[in-house]
Amino acid sequence: MQKRMLFLKCEMISSKCNSVTTCALMLLSLFSVISGHPELNGTSAHSVHRGQSVNISCNYKPSNDTEGFTVELHTNYKLYSMMYYNKSWINQSCKDHVRFIWIPKTGEMLFEVSNLQINDTGTYKCVVTRNIPPPSELLSEGRTFVQVIAHPSVSVSHVRAWDGFHRILCRSEGFFPSALELVWMRNGGFQNVSLTHNINKTNPDGSFTLHSYLNASDCTNYSCWVNHSSLSRPMILHLPPADCYDNRDTNTWMTLSLVTCVPLILAILIITVACERFRRARRRSVPPVGVSVTPEPEMLYSRLGDHHPVPCSPVGVHSSPR
């Protein structure tokens, strides 16, 4: 239980480190606690930037009476295994990013682990076991804790907002560990952080991304202040004035375009509807092409007889001869 609490304390310290100086002081206090635990005594620690290499020493020099022994590097699984017999080395198994180094003059043995990524963070063990003469005997087990860190990629930009406010975005991407400080500044002074709302997410490679938005009445003279344990000093990025003005001009142009286009679109719709109605009315009044329409003759009703209708047709008037 005590050992578990110790590792939890280590994890808390690493998550709260926001500068190299702070981390150094915390790690010194941690190592002073570790020194009191025989199980963890002799564990070394390395902080390595992502993509770099680390050398893990076995802290063991073989004696002359050791005829054959194996040297292995372990994390959660075996990374590398070498066997020494008859004054020569025999490669048994290895990973591509691990290299075994033997210095005959000093008898030093170490492993080089290259291209470290965030997921490579952990405790590495170099185990030396004597095989010949039998029986097998554990000669040494050195432990090295490797912390892979990644510095954030920070950028500041203006984001379009439709609610009348200027929205400024500060992106901090690809950093590890997760502890990061981000504060807005204007004219060199810190702003009220309650105006910001943050979106934090974990990336597939194990790193973190933090997006912080700031709503303001304008977007001039703003900066984003970022501090992380992978940085030697805090970063301050300024919002480019051109970005602010370009976006403001774009929003103004879009607003004016909407004000101008909406009445024009309505007028076009009204004219289109009126023309369509006029076209339909004209189609009803004009007969189809090729069809002759003979007007029905008007009827006159006689006052005599059975009142049969008598067609009213033109009557030719002939003058009698004189």
> Which pLDDT score is estimated for 13?
45
Q: Could you tell me the residue range of the domain that residue 209 belongs to?
A: 153-245
What is the full DSSP assignment across 175-226? EBSS-EEEEEEETTEE--GGGEEEEEEE-TTS-EEEEEEEEES--SSEEEEE
> Looking at the 3D structure of the chain, how many domains does it have?
3
CA–CA gap between residue 172 and residue 72 (Å, rounded)? 39
Q: 143 and 158 share a domain? A: no
> What residue ranges of the chain have pLDDT lower than 70?
1-42, 65-66, 161-164, 192-195, 243-261, 285-322
Cα–Cα separations (whole angstroms), residue 90 to 68, 78, 83, 114, 197: 11, 16, 5, 22, 58
**CATH number of the domain that 103 lies in?**
2.60.40.10
> Which pLDDT score is estimated for 253?
43
Q: 48 and 141 share a domain? A: yes
202-232 burial, b if ≥16 CB within 10 A, otherwise e?
A: eeeebbbbbebbbebeebeebbbbbbbbbbe
> Which pLDDT score is estimated for 14?
45
3-state per-residue secondary structure call for 230-290: CCCCCEEEECCHHHHHHHHHHHHHHHHHHHHHHHHHHHHHHHHHHHHHHHHHHHHHCCCCC
Q: 50 and 107 share a domain? A: yes
Q: Which residues contact 106 (CB under 8 A, 6 or more apart)?
A: 61
Q: Tens digits of per-residue pLDDT, 16-53?
A: 444 443 344 344 334 433 433 333 446 789 999 999 99
The DSSP call for residue 5 is: H
Q: 113 and 98 share a domain? A: yes
Q: How far is CA 35 from the centre of its chain?
A: 41
> Which pLDDT score is estimated for 160?
74
Tell whether 250 is covered by a domain.
Answer: no
Q: 241 and 161 share a domain? A: yes
Q: 126 and 37 share a domain? A: no
Q: 28 and 73 share a domain? A: no
